[in-house]
Amino acid sequence: MSIQSFHPPVRTLMGPGPSDVNPRILEAMSRPTIGHLDPVFVDMMEQMKELLRYAFQTKNELTMPVSAPGSAGMETCFVNLIQPGDTVIVCQNGVFGGRMKENVERCGATAVMVVDDWGVAVDPNKVEAALQANPAASVLAFVHAETSTGAISDAQTLAALAHQHDCVVIADTVTSLAGSPLKVDEWELDAVYSGTQKCLSCTPGLSPVTFSQRALDIVTSRKHPVQSWFMDLNLVLGYWGGGGKRAYHHTAPINALYGLHEALVILQEEGIENSWARHQKNHDALRAGFEAMGLSFVVPEGERLPQLNAVSIPEGVDEAAVRTALLNEYNLEIGAGLGAMAGKIWRVGLMGFASNRTNVLFCLGALDAVLSGMKAPITAGVAVDAARAAYK
């Protein structure tokens, strides 16, 4: 058997992630590998921390990328802030709130669930009631941007409620970072994690995190050891802490960090507010095309993520066959529904480098052609023009 080098097809990635990677980032990742304790690399680490503070809109000293995907960023927040016997209020309005619950329980704590329908924002009134009913709670955890449904919740209001009840906040911003307004300091979010493969348009495999001083005080005064050696911030800070001196903790993914550095430089060049506005503008055009075609959004207006568009599947359409046709005939990837939304929606991403006019028009034209060919109950031939009109 002779296995050849792997050469993937060139796709347009408009699913829930990963998103298209900016060619500048791919080039950055191909640069020469140096040691993870090299003084030049240490200088780049300091730059990256500053760039991440800009992306998160924070001055938190502990702001860094975890050397693993967003799920590990999530776990880093939970294992460091939660101890056996704690009570944690967990909001669930999609798949990823459920993963938060699993993390809480694996830490030996009790999860008190605040459950909302999939496709709507977390209800602050339910959260307040749960906080009042559980005065022993020490943490409120919620997903800012629920990737499984395309709904965004009011992080600032939820954090204010938490602090009124002496709780720290853990917030999942995997899909919101760089795509929707996220202001860690202004909103007083305590432990925040994200991913590189969404609106930063970097490759998967790293998880930016930031911790407030309030959260750090909990980490450094724990009575129980952090259950994960790799994610114990008391140890990781020896490598990612301030100043030029570094203690070996693990071999950092050097070339992947080159890519994240470049992604953050690109974000700085564009400007964070401009990035938020670009995502919204392209969402508005995509929405105009979808609605002209006859596809409806499952998330109420005002609670929709511009970078993750969840639309209902027309009656009688084989949704998997549509996605397969888009992939095979157009090299275009869109996402299926997860969990309670499986078989009911498509998730169309407009994230980072992929959030542009060309992709919006391409996606609408391809979807129009495939659905029309299947005799789906849509209004054919109008979506692209509707999107063009929205851009004007």
Residue 42 and residue 34: Cα distance in Å, rounded?
Answer: 11
User: 3-class DSSP state for residue 44?
Assistant: helix
Q: Is 145 exposed, middle or buried (0-12, 13-18, 19+ CB in 10 A)?
A: buried
Q: How far is CA 282 from CA 23, 179, 287, 314, in A?
A: 21, 11, 8, 23
Residue type, 247: A
Position 246 scores a pLDDT of 81
Pairing of strands 191-193, 207-211: antiparallel
Tell me how crowded residue 316 is: count the other CB atoms within 10 A of its CB. 9
Q: Where are the alpha helices (DSSP H) in the chain?
A: 23-29, 39-56, 70-81, 95-106, 124-133, 155-164, 184-187, 213-220, 233-240, 254-270, 272-293, 319-330, 357-373, 383-391
Q: What are the average pLDDT values for consecutive 10-residue runs of the chain, which has 392 residues?
A: 95 97 98 95 95 98 96 98 98 97 98 97 98 98 97 98 98 98 98 98 97 96 94 92 79 97 98 98 98 97 97 96 98 95 96 98 98 97 98 95
Residue 94 and residue 22: Cα distance in Å, rounded?
Answer: 29
Q: Please, what is the end-to-end C-alpha distance for the chain in angstroms? A: 56
Position 65 scores a pLDDT of 98
Residues 55, 59, 65, CA angle at the centre, nearest 5°?
55
CB neighbours of 369 closer than 8 A, spacing ≥ 6? none
Residue 325 and residue 309: Cα distance in Å, rounded?
Answer: 20
207 within 8 A of 66, measured Cβ to Cβ: yes
Residue 225 and residue 391: Cα distance in Å, rounded?
Answer: 54
DSSP string, 162-211: HHHTT-EEEEE-TTTTTTS---HHHHT-SEEE--SSSTT---SS-EEEEE
Ordered domains of the chain (ranges, CATH): 23-269 (3.40.640.10), 271-391 (3.90.1150.10)
Structure tokens given for 172 = 């999942």
Position 244 scores a pLDDT of 58
Residue 311 and residue 91: Cα distance in Å, rounded?
Answer: 23
Residue 43 and residue 39: Cα distance in Å, rounded?
Answer: 6
Residue 84 and residue 224: Cα distance in Å, rounded?
Answer: 8
Position 1 scores a pLDDT of 87
DSSP string, 80-106: HH--TT-EEEEEESSHHHHHHHHHHHH
Residue 155 and residue 186: Cα distance in Å, rounded?
Answer: 11
191 within 8 A of 81, measured Cβ to Cβ: yes
Structure tokens given for 2 = 């002779």
141 within 8 A of 90, measured Cβ to Cβ: yes
Predicted TM-score (pTM) of this structure: 0.97
Residue type, 280: Q
